[in-house]
Structure 1
Amino acid sequence: MATLGTLGCAVGAIALVYVLSLLVPDRQFWVELTIVASLTVAVIFPLQLALRLRNEALRDMQKELQHALHHNPVTGTLRANAFAASVEHAIDRRRLSTAENPDGVMLVLRISNFDEIGRRYGPQWADTLLQSIVQIVHSCVRYGDLVARLSSDELGIYLPGTATENARDFCERIRARIDETTFTAGQEHHLSVTVRLGGTRVGDQSDFQALREAANHDALAEEEAGPLLFRELFS
């Protein structure tokens, strides 16, 4: 782009010299043409290049800033506010669309002993554990599913167009992969990780806080009742 801009300026300068040569025919046209073109390239190209590099740096900085505003720095997942806005927007869009299934499921995953691990081994190992679990979740979700860190020990997962039965299978896959994974704090300490999963069908509800509370209710009930529970909210 800098080269094209420089060429454009050079062509404009050459055209101007040509017009002047027609008005003043005794002047040495080709000498002036060469001098003007050379000066234009020598001066304009560095300016054009610097301007393009500055604009690209500003765009990259804006992208990094937007990413930092919407994503958790530890997990790389969405922040709670960005997740809530994205879920409500996706629900409203799918409800108005005739080509997309309006159904969906809102899940929460809670690490029951997250605070205990942080106190015993240090917050850095608790964060490492959370990052590992996020990787497991990402390996199970589809393109278009949303994952967020809602609190220190809580992840939110939105599965658009997913039936309750499929969401239950999804949760069992996550649970199985967590059970198969060996989590360690350093090279000596093996971490015993306990997670609870709960969810609710979206249905006609689009209020994020109500969906989160319903999913959390099932995550807490799972600890008492054993199997994964789903409560259909406003069905």
Structure 2
Amino acid sequence: MKKKLLFSLLSVFFFCFSFLPIRAEESSYPYTIRIYSGKQGTIDGQEMVETIVQPGASISDLFSLERVQLDNDKYYVKGFKESGKDNNTMAQPLPAIAKEDADFVIVYGIKGEGTQYTIQYVDQAGNALAQPQTFYGNVGDRPVVAYRYFEGYLPQAYNLVRTLSANAAENQFTFVYAPIEQPQTTTPATPAQPTTPTTPTQPTTPAAPTTPDNQTPTEEGTTPTTPQQPQ
């Protein structure tokens, strides 16, 4: 009895669940990217700037750190971090692709033994895909550098991490990009044009049959005689 009751309840559950709407995995609505200035400065004189982007759009170049005005000279701008996360998870520059609504906060550091580091973006042959970017930090910092999006290319890594040295020449973050192979499409061969059929020859009209002479056929070699009247 208990097994039958359990089976009935499960049947009702699956029946109801089958009519629930399926949620789409990808949204077609635009995303909102917000950047907060944090406690040590402002962004163009404001505490927050907001940008609307389309799904899949590049957001790496949406914001320049040069727009940050420091309130105190003993600090410097280190980069960005996602709102609510620790400063050790900072990303410089912003993430490459918009995948959802996101909030970022400017990360600051206290000036100490300063140094600089350079981010480069090159293809497999060493050709630059964009101008190098230079940022500043302290010796011993470990910035997390995010890749930039370039259409038709795939980076060898999405993030690079390095401990900054006092020698700026050693602080190189180089992203190497490989071209994305495009599927090859074959063009169908042009079909041969059909040949024009030859015109058939008209049949000849047969000759009309000749009319035979109206003569009574006789046995060969005999002359017919007139029949005699019976007596």
TM-score w.r.t. the length of structure 2 is 0.24
More contact order relative to length (CA 8 Å, sep ≥ 6): 1
The answer to which structure has the higher strand fraction is: 2
Which structure would you say has the larger Rg? Answer: 2
TM-score w.r.t. the length of structure 1 is 0.23
